[in-house]
Amino acid sequence: MDDDRRASGVLLLKNLKLASHSVLESMQGRSKCPKCKASRKYYCYTCYIPLDEIKDKVPQVKLPLKIDIIKHPKEIDGKSTAVHAGLISPDDVTIYNFPCVPDFDPSEKVVLVFPSKEAVNLDDLFKDPKYEMQRDDKAVPFTRVVFIDSTWNQSNQIFKDERLKGLPCVMLNSRETCFWRTQKDKPITYLATIEAIYYFLVDYHNLTEEATYDGRYDNLLYFYSFMYKVVEKSNMEKKQEGMENIRKRKRQDWEDKVKNKKAVTGEVDDDKESECKESNNSNKTAFTS
Ligand SMILES: [Zn+2]
């Protein structure tokens, strides 16, 4: 994680209005998922439910629209941040494992968040006269949003699926990720799925509400920010451990050097002493002779 990324991550975390992480911090070890009985920590990433110890304490967020997340089968469940959305907003978020995709109701207005060639900015979509919003009745250009949860290459495979082809695409305003698992060769603006969902909702709020954004969706990043802190702490500890090891090695090197020098100096001293004795003796001899 480079310094810029860390700085933007810290800035994001500092400004979030989050529920306390103390319940997560106090959890010891792992427990069984109440549904599939697999050993898990905090939540089950295959059943998308929190463990019993925390189920009543995980913050819940009501969303202004329905969200479907299509997860690529090769996306590793335990590493996916999409599940965080399912845990925090279970009534509004559904996760599908590709090739399963949702059956879209023809009467529903659905958009896909994907930066295709035809994708439009969220702001532009709202400005489109076709979708022009009447603030009084809160008419909006869409009521359901689809996100793809996968690596960049895999997302193309999902995007090309026949069942998603007719969906209009929107793209997010550029933001920097603070994800600790960065994808090789991908820019800092390539967001983790939960970041993309969060920023989408913040932008959506700013386009649909008169009042400025008040942090109401911040808890979507509840698990994400907690894990960010855990990773940062562990990195810091590793760094400190590394620095301590370097210090130890340097101290050892110095002690070895001193020992060697002493040994060398000690030999020289002995020689000098004998030289000195000889010299004294010779002096004496010379003196006495
Ligand atoms: Zn489970």
| pLDDT tops 60 at residue 135 | no
State the distance from the centre of ligand 1 to the C-alpha of 39, rounded, in angstroms: 8
CB 94 within 8 A of CB 102: yes
Q: Where are the alpha helices (DSSP H) in the chain?
A: 3-15, 22-25, 82-88, 122-127, 152-159, 193-208, 222-288
**Distinct helix (H) and strand (E) counts, the chain:** 7, 10
| pLDDT tens profile 189-209 | 668 899 999 999 999 999 888
CB 16 within 8 A of CB 215: yes
Name the residue ranges covered by the structural domains of the chain. 3-220
State the distance from the centre of ligand 1 to the C-alpha of 164, rounded, in angstroms: 28
State the distance from the centre of ligand 1 to the C-alpha of 31, rounded, in angstroms: 11
Tell me how many degrees the CA angle 43-148-144 measures, rounded to the nearest 5.
95
Q: Which residues contact 181 (CB under 8 A, 6 or more apart)?
A: 79, 192
| Amino acid 221: pLDDT | 94
pLDDT (mean) for 76-98:
92
State the distance from the centre of ligand 1 to the C-alpha of 65, rounded, in angstroms: 26
| Amino acid 262: pLDDT | 81
State the distance from the centre of ligand 1 to the C-alpha of 84, rounded, in angstroms: 14
Joined tokens for residue 234: 């562990």
State the distance from the centre of ligand 1 to the C-alpha of 131, rounded, in angstroms: 41
State the distance from the centre of ligand 1 to the C-alpha of 75, rounded, in angstroms: 17
State the distance from the centre of ligand 1 to the C-alpha of 101, rounded, in angstroms: 21
The b/e string for 212-249 (b: 16+ C-beta within 10 A; e otherwise) is eeeebbbbbbbbbbbbbeeebeeeeeeeeeeeeeeeee
State the distance from the centre of ligand 1 to the C-alpha of 201, rounded, in angstroms: 28
State the distance from the centre of ligand 1 to the C-alpha of 87, rounded, in angstroms: 12
pLDDT (mean) for 66-93:
92
Confidence label for 288 from pLDDT (cuts 50, 70 and 90)? very low
Confidence label for 289 from pLDDT (cuts 50, 70 and 90)? very low
| pLDDT tops 70 at residue 222 | yes
Q: Is the pTM of this model over 0.75?
A: yes
pLDDT (mean) for 31-50:
95
